[in-house]
Structures are given as structure tokens and as C-alpha cells.
Structure 1
Amino acid sequence: MGRPTVHLVGGPTAVLDYAGSRFVLDPTFDEPGTYQSGPVTATKLTGPSIRPEDLGAVDVVLVSHEHHVDNLDKSGREYARAARRVFTTVTGAENLGPQAIGLRPFEHAEDGAVRVTAVPALHGTPEIGVGNGPVIGFVLQADGWPTVYASGDNASVDVVAVIAERFPAIEIAILNLGAARIALRGDGFLTLTAELAVRAAALLGVRAVVPVHQDGWGHYTENGDDVRRAFRAAGLTDVLVALRPGDSATV
């Protein structure tokens, strides 16, 4: 059985080496700054741990959604538009160039030996998520390799349950955490909390959880310490692969 390697760049951005292909998840490479999108202000607090030009050859960029700057900032958008292939939402593909392939939930595409299936994500409570626009996660499968789930900005354990039922062999989950909250979007969380991440790990029955999307932006209300405490309290410390930006792990 092959073993994938995850390198955490920072924020939601990670590099996944899997079954002979290299994937970049939700590229964000800008330095710290403040972004205005309509009435919403988002503040990036830390820059990436690696420059995009230092990543080497990349086969596919996976963009869970392209309309929120903490998942695709200015440099990340340029990187995605210059990539060989991009898998993203149908709406997002229209804005990322001819190399972008839009996938609806449970549609799939192939890259080399890897099947990439888009899966649902709910970016907030049911009421908030509708207004936040389309978001997807991804499930990666390849012969001789563990099945990997990358959640994208999903805040719903019910959605995780649907994915677990559809893909019972998932072994590794890359979860967007941080309990993101923006006042103009109401009191609900836009991504999983640490406590919900514990529930998601149990539903999926995975052997490894790699948290991302928990550092670097002002609207993330929880960090890695919160996640470590939650997994320790649940007796799941051995499942948690706690990376800091710049760290890598083979899982």
C-alpha cells in the first residue's frame, strides 16, 4: 500500500503527493494584508511557508471554491490559472481558464492513476451555506493507495456522514477547520470546529486526520491547540496528524 505525503503550506493550502501525482489544495500564496469583498473584510495574518515557484512540478490544483479570498487569494488565483489542470466547482471553472474542469458533487475526473471525485460541502449552517455559494470537497482513489478525503470548507457533520456512506474505505481525511466566522454571515461557523472534527473523524473511521485552514487568517476562531485538545479529550490523539506550516508528514 502506498503512503501519501502531505506538506502544509499554511491556511487551507497543502501539497499532496499521491499515487504518482502531485496535488495542491486551495492555493493561497499572498503575504499578509487586508481584503475587501463587498461588505466583507478578511485579514490575512501570515504569509505562506513556501513560495509557489519552489513547489516543483504540480499535476493538479484542487480548488474547493474560488470566490472566497482565504481559499484562493490573488497569488493563488494566478497560480491556478497557470496550472496544467484545475478541478473545482462548475461555477469556479468558468473563472479559472480553459484548463479548469468543473465538477458537480459525485462527478469524477482522472489524473494519471488517480480518480478525483467531487463531494458535497456546506459552507456554514444550511441558511448561511446557501448564501456562501457552491463549495466542494474531493475524494482521491488509486489502486494500491489509501482513499483520501479533502473536505474543502465544509461545516456540516451531516454532509460528512453522507460522504462516509458513499466512500466507506476513506482512511485519511484532510479537514478544513478553524471554526471560521464572519459577523456579516451571522453567528454560525463556516467551517468545522475542533469538536465537530472529532465527530467527523469518528464517522469516517479514518486512521489519520490532517487539519488545515486553522492558521493565518483573522476570521479563524480556533487554532491547532484547540484541535489537539479536542482530539486528546476524545482519546483520538493517535489519529491526529498535527502539522504546522512548513511541516510534512507521510501518512
Structure 2
Amino acid sequence: MTAFPVRLFGGPTALFEYGGLRFLTDPTFDEPGDYAVPRGRLTKTARPAGAPGAVDVVLLSHDEHPDNLDISGRALLAEVPLTLTTPRGAQRLGGGAKGLADWEAIELQRPGGGTVTVTGVPAVHGPGAREDVEPITGQVVGFVLTGEGLPTVYVSGDNASLDAVKQIAERFGPVDTAILFAGAPRFDVLFDGAVIVLDSAQAAEAAGVLGARRVVPVHYEGWAHFTEGRDALIAAFTAAGLADRLDLN
């Protein structure tokens, strides 16, 4: 099946057209700067690579951290008909936001007829069990997109759990395109410095588990707390024998 283009804007933000609808992941369009957060500070280091234009659906993994939804991103949500996110996030955002619990699905009408199904899937924003991680880093959701005659697309969100990836693969694998949040972000004050989203080696392992034909990494550049970038991704996927599946745009 022909791969569709994915446009990257930096950080976790990507735009793709699927089934005639334009989907945008975790909108971050602010200029570089610092953000105060409960346990310290986040620093954005790079400008966004343009603007997205019209968007039909935002796929928002979570609303609580500015490296996933910044000031400009919040303003953009008001212009988008539908934002799919966590159940708690939808309550906070209101407006056109709808929460998806794990394995909950919504059908979206395609402009030319037919539907796209978006299913919320598990994500754990840190190491260990979800019940231990969620009170600290918050509720996160990933997404799987399917439709008749369309490729299967997985958007991981801020997930660090390979067990969650295995559950998703059991239900939806093999995946045609996996948009994997990577970058090995870590903080000394959280989980003893353990990664809170996939590192490069884990992203390669996730690609193998999913049987992904193409992997588009996001969330690995543009912020100071990302500790692994493009070179680490290339090295990890090469070591895993999956370099041909890596799409770095």
C-alpha cells in the first residue's frame, strides 16, 4: 500500500491526511522559550517548521505538558472541529474535545463517503506500572486509525511501555505506519532519571513488535529534555535490522 506523506513540525507535532481528513498530532507551535512545570522547567530550543493550515482532527496524547500542547497549540484547538484526547483531558479542555478510553473507538465520516475509525489505545508516560506512573505524569492515550481500503496507522503518544505496544500489536498488527514518540526524555527528579517516553532502542523494538512497515519518529528534537536524536534513532534501527523501515522525512 502506498505510504502517505507525514509532515513534521518539530517536537511531537505531525500532520497527515488519511481517508480525506487532515489529522494533527500534539500541537506545539510556540517559538523557543522556557515553561515552568511543577517539578522544574521545560525548554523549547527550536522554532516550529511552519504552520499546519486547515486541520480536521487533532490527536492529542495529553494536555498537561507544554511540550505536547503549548500556548499556540491551545489556541489552535479552538479552530479545529474535533480534538481526541484522554477522558480527563477532554473534561479540562471542553469545546470540541472528546475523550477516548483504552480500546474505545469513534467513527468519523470521510468527505468522499465511508468512515475512518479512531481507537484509543494504552500509553504509559514513564517506567513501570500505569497506576504508579499516572499520578505523577498524568493520563495519556495513543491512537490507531483504520478504515476500509486504508492502511493501519498507530500514533503512540507519550508512551514508554513496550507491554502496551504488545497489546496494541495483538489487536491491530501488523501496522502499516507507526508514528512513534521517541527521544528518550528524562529528568533527574522523575523516576530516578529513567526515560518517560521510548528511547531509540525501544522504538526499534516497538517497530518489530508491531510489524510496522514504516516508522515515522517524532518527539526527538526541539526540546532540551530529549536526550536521543536522529543519529541515535538511525543507529538503533540499523542495529535491529530495521533501517529500511525508518522514515525521517
TM-score by length of 2: 0.93
Instruction: State the one-letter code of the partner of 2:214.
Output: A
Provide, for residues 29-61 of structure 1, a one-character-per-residue CA deviation record: whole Å limited to 9, x for no partner.
Answer: 00000000223210000010012xxx2321101
Separation of aligned partners in 1, 2:223 and 2:18 = 28
> How much is the aligned-residue C-alpha RMSD, in angstroms?
1.2
- Give the superposition deviation at 1:129: 4.4
Match of 2:120 in 1: 118
Q: Percent identity?
A: 48
1:34 matches 2:34:
yes
Conserved 8 A contact 1:81-1:97: no
Deviates more, 1:87-96 or 1:210-219: 87-96
Structure 1 residue 128: Cα displacement: 3.5
Equivalent residues, number: 240
TM-score by length of 1: 0.92
SS where residue 209 of structure 1 aligns? Answer: strand
C-alpha distance in 2, partners of 1:181/1:66? 19
The answer as to whether partners of 1:122 and 1:135 remain within 8 angstroms in 2 is: yes
Give distance in 2, aligned partners of 1:56 and 1:178.
26
Instruction: Give the whole-Å Cα distance in 2 for the aligned partners of 1:24 and 1:6.
Output: 10
By how many angstroms is 1:2 displaced?
Answer: 5.8
Where relative contact order (Cα < 8 A, 6+ residues apart) is larger, the structure is 1
1:81: how far off?
2.9
* Aligned positions of 1:1-251 closer than 5 A: 1=1, 3-51=3-51, 55-112=52-109, 113-126=115-128, 127-185=132-190, 186-243=192-249
Check whether the contact 1:123–1:153 (CA below 8 A) recurs between aligned residues: yes
Could you list the runs of 4 or more consecutive aligned residues of structure 1 that deviate by over 4 angstroms after TM superposition? none
Q: Structure 1: which amino acid aligns with 2:203? A: A
| Structure 2 segments unaligned to the other structure (5+ residues) | 110-114
Q: Is the CA contact 1:125–1:189 (under 8 Å) kept in the aligned structure 2?
A: yes
Distance in 2 between the 1:87 and 1:75 partners? 18
Offset of 1:130 from its aligned partner?
A: 4.2
Deviation at 1:202, TM superposition (A): 0.7
Confirm or deny: 8 A CA contact 1:21 1:111 kept in the other structure.
no
